[in-house]
Amino acid sequence: MAKNQMHEELRERIEQGGAEKYHQKNADKGKMFVRERLRMLFDEDLDIEDAFFANCMDGSLPADGVVTGIGIVNGQTVCVMANDSTVKAGSWGKRTVEKIIRIQETAMKLEVPMLYLVDSAGARITDQIEMFPNRRGAGRIFYNQVKMSGRVPQICLLFGPSAAGGAYIPAFCDIVVMVDGNASMYLGSPRMAEKVIGEKVTLEEMGGARMHCSVSGVGDVLVSSEQEAIEYAQKYLTYFPENFRSKPPVLDAIQPEAFEKSISDLIPENQNAPFDMLELIKRLIDKDSFCEIKREFAKEIITGLARINGQAVGIIANQPRMKGGVLFHDSADKAAKFIQLCDAFNIPLVFLADIPGFMIGTKVERAGIIRHGAKMISAMSEASVPKISVVVRKAYGAGLYAMAGPAFEPDVTIAFPTAQIAVMGPEAAVNAVYANKIAELPEEERPAFIKEKHEEYKENIDIYRLASEMVIDDIVQPDDLRDHLNKRLEAYQSKNLTFTERKHGVYPV
């Protein structure tokens, strides 16, 4: 009886986490207790918890600061680790690390998604010999993540700091959701930065959620509350199978949102004028099915998961409203990771091209635009899922290649009747070919000459001519695109391709 009572008391104490003052401190910042987060995440609650009694002989470290176990999200079994920041700021001791490693091993054995709910100050320096350098030290967590990548979905919800080595947990996940104001990632704290390199900077500026989701691109989704982060993860998971062996679940088909303007109304006649590609996407996909990734980062390309007639797809679309839809180093990098994500989990890809090309100039050359562009083209080439390329308005230069042009084995290349495919646009081409001739002409004759050459050039790259040469496979009216995509996606379902046999490519990262 005494033993039973002791057991119940201990259980209760562990369940409560750290001291009351830390709970209060978290609540003041809009942070939920780790067990509340888990209750909100799962359909019911965490079903199975492992090593609940970890470090229970030390009364001050309930569960050793991390909850690990198995639960159900949208009917799907997932494994989870969740830091408890009321216990020594969620820092990692020997048992914390071992618990994380074990739940990763479980996720690998069961081949189910792994969720990381991160809110941790990093290593417990006092425990470093036990948790840092060993075979089963913290390094093993990252090693496991790399091994799991592409086998099972790995999702990181960042509720608080993710410091130093700990910052690599998000880095190795497929997706990182960050809560604005609370979440942060950094290798060295502002205090350390000031001491070691003499830089004075705030945490928010250096490693805050907004910075990472809009500037560095290490974060993928910026949310304003923990609840929003959890809801995002729940929605995100609906697009994914449990592992790379299966196909994504098919949901009930839903009609697209109704709008006054149709797709053809959206597209300006002037090739060079901006329009909002997001509006076009909304008209193609099932209502409310868009789950955008990296919305705040490299906005000249849109990447997101969606559904067409219930079937999950990954959309990669140039955004002419932002930087003219030109591809930059960051946008190529963003697209490369998204393509790999979809390909790993059997999600078909739809490319919507409206691209004047890759950016040129000193700034981007110094930023390595060539290797970043090559990275996107590698990922796109290797993708063996159904791959549909749609030329919405234009695909010029290497932009055509990056957006799954005909040479890259898309299952089909479709174009709208007004689309243009060329090495470069008419203005640039006429200038390149006739610059000397134009300079020789009397000024009053130049406009007429240029116009004539423009027209000639446009005829030369006319989309019906390209269809006649079978460069493109079909010309589709904008307002028929959804139906057309739906039929194609259904037809390509059984595609089962191995890109090539080898150990792995040497990637232009």
Partner 1 sequence: MKEVVANMAGNVWKVVVNEGDQVDSGQDVVILESMKMEIPIAAEAAGSVKELKVNEGDFVNEGDVIAIIE
Q: Which is nearer to partner 1, 208 or 325 (CB)?
A: 325
Q: Which is nearer to partner 1, 355 or 376 (CB)?
A: 355
Q: Which is nearer to partner 1, 102 or 321 (CB)?
A: 321
Residue 454 touches partner 1, criterion: CB under 8 A: no
Binding mask 334-373 for partner 1 (x = CB under 8 A): ----------------------xx-xxx-x----------
User: Residue with structure tokens 């948790």?
Assistant: 131
Return the range that interacts with partner 1 (CB under 8 A); candidates 1-9, 99-107, 226-234, 272-280.
272-280
User: Residue with structure tokens 């232009």?
Assistant: 508
CA-to-CA dists, residue 349 to 42, 255, 384, 386, 486, angstroms: 29, 20, 10, 6, 12
> Which of residues 321, 371, 454, 484 is near partner 1 by CB under 8 A?
321
Please work out, in degrees rounded to the nearest 5, the angle formed at the alpha carbon of residue 324 by the alpha carbons of 320 and 325: 60
Q: Which of 127, 57, 141, 128 is nearest to 98 (CA)?
A: 141
382's CB contacts (< 8 A; 6+ apart) are: 343, 499, 505
Which tokens sit at 504?
């792995």
Look up residue 27 and give its amino acid: A
Residue 272 touches partner 1, criterion: CB under 8 A: yes
> How many residues touch partner 1 (CB under 8 A)?
20
Backbone angles phi, psi at 74, to 5 degrees: 50, 40
CB-CB contact of 144 with 104 (8 Å) = yes
> Which of residues 113, 304, 325, 386 is near partner 1 by CB under 8 A?
325
> Which of residues 326, 341, 349, 395 is near partner 1 by CB under 8 A?
326
- Interacting positions 25-84 with partner 1 (CB under 8 A): none
Return the range that interacts with partner 1 (CB under 8 A); candidates 36-44, 102-110, 243-251, 318-326.
318-326
How far is the C-alpha of 350 from the C-alpha of 481, rounded, in Å? 12
How far is the C-alpha of 355 from the C-alpha of 272, rounded, in Å? 10
- Residue 378 CA to chain centroid, in angstroms? 17
Farthest CA pair distance, the chain: 106
Q: Which is nearer to partner 1, 302 or 349 (CB)?
A: 302
Q: How far is the CB of 366 from partner 1 (least distance, A)?
A: 11
Q: How far is the CB of 382 from partner 1 (least distance, A)?
A: 28
> Which of residues 129, 201, 273, 432 is near partner 1 by CB under 8 A?
273
Contacts with partner 1 by CB under 8 A lie at 272-274, 320-326, 328, 356-357, 359-361, 363, 425, 427-428
